[in-house]
Structure 1
Amino acid sequence: MCCSVGFARSLGLALLPLALCSVLANLLLLFPMGEITYIQQDRLASYIWYFGGLGVNTSLLFLKHCLCAAVPSQMCGSVLAAIIGLLGSGYCFVISGLALIQGPHCFTSYGWSYPFADQRGRYLLQPENWSWCLQPINIVEWNVTLLCVLLGLAVLEFIICLLQLGNGLLYILPFIYHDYFY
């Protein structure tokens, strides 16, 4: 059983840098190329405002102590934290994926629009069309890079939380079984 507690602590510590990177990637999405102008003018893609990695991963930062301090009485808390982490990483994955499919909100020769929205993500394989976005400069590359980072981080967080959920359940089931049948 001691191995289970150590494993939970390791998983909790692994979530910390992933959550911090997710928060950072979300913050960078709010400021294309480091400029504040586009957020002030409300020129960001709609899915960026759903904060796929920000809110959920901030809560993971607060909940990670349940995973790091997994003593028998707190193992139920780490299971709860793992479930919240699974939901959060799933949310981050879905929102980031939808944002990638929609494409950036940018200024084109026709004004501000979503020039790739009707392509269902095919624009990702057609970098020659990325120049349709005139402003912010390199917004397609910026969004694609950060959203792919968020997708990858969400997958890693999901795997870690799934491992913790299994670990926590394997740890507490004997206690529940013993209390129920004896």
Structure 2
Amino acid sequence: MCTGSCAKCLGVTLIPLAVIGLLANILLFFPGGKTVGDKEQLTDEVLYLGGIIGSGVLMIFPALVFLGLKNNDCCGCCGNESCGKRFAMFTSTIFAAIGVLGAGYSFIVSALSINKGPKCLMKTNGTWGYPFVNG
């Protein structure tokens, strides 16, 4: 069974998804396409950097490991020829777990953001707040 080809395919698909998650979080710093005057207008969840840390940085590592897995034909170590492939599969499992942690972090930050709702300018007192939190 050739798991290296499957891992390479997975790495190729993870890189664009990680870049999209990274760019989506960066765009959240510019609501309405404009720069904000003060940090008060940004939601707390944007500052948690769920897309940059979770979907971006922590997904790039597994993608790069998966891309290099196809070329990892180590000749072995300690007299055991299959040791190199076992180590490659072990590292791919570790980095896949890191990717799952990143996806979990991004999911939790997104769920918190959906639960809280958008940050809007309140007409009653002229400050920025969450109108749907108590309603």
Report the TM-score when normalising by structure 2: 0.78
Q: Which structure features the higher share of helix residues?
A: 1
Structure 1: 5+ residue stretches without partners: 120-182
2:65 match = 66
- Given candidates 87, 90, 104, the residue that maps to 1:90 is 104
1:11 lines up with 2:13 in the alignment: no
Structure 2: 5+ residue stretches without partners: 73-84
Indicate how the Cα distance of structure 1 residues 41 and 83 shifts in structure 2: closer, same or farther if over 3 A, else same: closer
Indicate how the Cα distance of structure 1 residues 5 and 41 shifts in structure 2: closer, same or farther if over 3 A, else same: closer
2:80 match = none
- CA offset at residue 41 of structure 1? 3.8
Say how many residue pairs are matched. Answer: 117
Does structure 2 conserve the Cα–Cα contact (< 8 Å) formed by 1:63 and 1:81?
yes
Higher relative contact order (Cα pairs below 8 Å, separated by 6+ residues): 1
Indicate how the Cα distance of structure 1 residues 7 and 31 shifts in structure 2: closer, same or farther if over 3 A, else same: same
Alignment of 1:110-129 (within 5 A): 110=124, 111=126, 112-119=128-135
Please give the secondary structure, in 1, of the residue aligned with 2:92: helix
Identical aligned pairs, as a percentage? 36
**One-letter amino acid of the counterpart of residue 44, structure 1:** L
Q: Cα RMSD over matched residues?
A: 1.6
1:108 lines up with 2:114 in the alignment: no
Runs (4+) of structure 1 exceeding 3 A deviation are none
Report the TM-score when normalising by structure 1: 0.59
